Structures are given as structure tokens and as C-alpha cells.
Amino acid sequence: MTTSIYFSTERIQVVQGKFNKGKLLIQGVFTESLPEGTMINGVIANESAIYRALERLVDVANLQKQPVDLIVDSGSILTKRLCVPILSQKKLLELVKGEFVDVKENYENLIYDYSVISRKNPQGAGGVILCAAMESNFSFSYIEVFKKMNLKLKSIDIAISAEIGLAHFIPEFRERTFILAVLESNNIVSSLFVNGQYYFTNRTRLLAPRGTEESTAEISQAMSSLMQFNQSQKTGAEISDIYFCGLNTDESELTVELSNIYNIAIAPLAAYSVIEVDPTVKYRMADNLYVTGNLLIKDGSYHG
């Protein structure tokens, strides 16, 4: 069994699961709410609140019994989609570092990594990767928390990598052009996938309270901007679907309203046949996108 954990703006999420005959079996889902201001743009601002929440999760989810895979997200994490030739892992990392030379002077002690988007490069030989860079202090704060809690942290990955893993794993996403929109507190993170492959992510801060007409208009504008971006890039593919994660109960009509505006399929992200859930577990894909995607890439069943 693999354990995946994510610190969102509003809660800590834990999902546990394993693979069986090509399917992901969800065996445990645990959540602890966080006071407002505990997490700010992915940065831990209230350590005591984090420790209290983790203490409760340690008991119910038995976190000390096995290593934990962490997923993180922040607007400060640098990412870039890049077509690359066939290279060794060492040379790919050198290439990734070179992509952030222009911004390096504005950051301290960057660490680098990459995820495989596709092993086929539409522009020639090689493949497509997602380059990523983050400040070492950003990850160090998480490492210290897990160390103080005596929890073994096996890996740290970014949210976009989890989305990529999920899109590769679910057959219904392959060859489709869609937007995956994640609402978290007063932010919306929208990722564009073209023909099943990750393409671009846009982050928007919502000014109006969630659930209001003004908020719906802001969310609609964020979707419209990404649709226009897809057209400007001349990808040759039309967006057919928008999948939402993190919708509140007072936003139940949002997908219907947007569907009427754009005349495309818009709905909360649903469960799929390749994901099974233990009957004793309460699980919704739309509430657990990042932790579910992280299970896929850490288990090794994600093939870019």
C-alpha cells in the first residue's frame, strides 16, 4: 500500500491505495481541516496547526507504519513544458537547469526536477517533459515537519506531475483536449491538456466570495482565457470538456451555467472504471485529485 499526502490551503489530505490487475484500489481516505492562514501559497505559515492536524492523522491513518509520498503546490514553483531529444537523466537535468537561468537570480538555492509528459516528441525524435524548479527552503520546511513528527518522507513531487500521471492513467482522457480546473480557497488552478498530453497551467486569484454570481463570472473568465490560449497556440484541437475539482456545495449549479455558456461538457471530475474504492471508504475523485495522481506516479504504473 502507498500513502500520498497533500497540504492544501484548507486541509491536509491523505489517500492510501495499491494497484491490482491494472486498477488502483483506494483503501483509505483521511482529511483534517486547517485554520485559515495555516498555508499561504503552499508555504507553511502556522506550524503548530500543522502538527496538531498531523498528530490526528498519524493515529487514524497509521502514518508511522510506512513511508509517505508528499505532493506540493505553489505559485512560486517554476514549471515549463519542453520538447527534448533523447538524453540521459543526468543530461536532462542539466538541460532543465539551463531553462531557468534567466530567473535564477530572483530565487535562492533552486532545486530541479522533471516529469515525463510524453515519450513521443511531435517535433521530432525524443520526448516532451515538464521542467520544474523550486527553492530549497520551500521543500526544507516540509522535510522538517515530517522529521519532527517521526514520519518517513519518501518523496516530494509537484501537483502538475500528479495531474499528468492521472491523465495518462485514465483511458477516457487519452487523445482528449480538456481543461482540469482545481478550486482551492480563493484560487483556481487550470491546466490545459491537448490530445491527452499536458500543455499549460494558469493560476487565477478569485476576488469575489465563492458561490456568488461575481465568483462564477471570474471562474468563467479563467476558463475563457485558457480556451483563447489554446486557439492562439494553434494546437489543432478543440477543447471538448472541462473537469472541476474542489467545488463547494453552494457551487452545484456552476457547471451547468458554464456548460450553457460554452456549449461543451463541464462537470466535476468523476471516478473512472480503472479506479476502485474499498466499500468501507468514502472517496470522491473531485476532492482528491492531487493525492490520487500522486499514488499513480509513485506506484510506478504511470507510463509517460
Average pLDDT, the chain: 92
Would you mind telling me the total number of residues written for the chain in this entry?
Answer: 304
- Is the pLDDT at 301 greater than 70, yes or no? no
Sign of CA dihedral 286, 290, 293, 298: negative
| pLDDT tens per residue across span 182-222 | 999 999 999 999 999 999 999 999 999 999 999 999 999 99
Query: Which of 103, 17, 12, 8 is closest to 51 using CA atoms?
Result: 12
DSSP codes, 203-238: EEE--SPTTSHHHHHHHHHHHHHHHHHHHHTT-S--
Helix H or strand E segment including 56: helix 47-61
- Is the pLDDT at 303 greater than 50, yes or no? no
Give the per-residue pLDDT at 298. Answer: 62
Give the per-residue pLDDT at 82. Answer: 94
Contact 129, 115 (CB under 8 A): yes
| pLDDT tens per residue across span 66-107 | 899 999 999 999 999 999 988 888 999 999 999 998 886 777
| pLDDT tens per residue across span 3-28 | 999 999 999 999 999 988 888 999 99
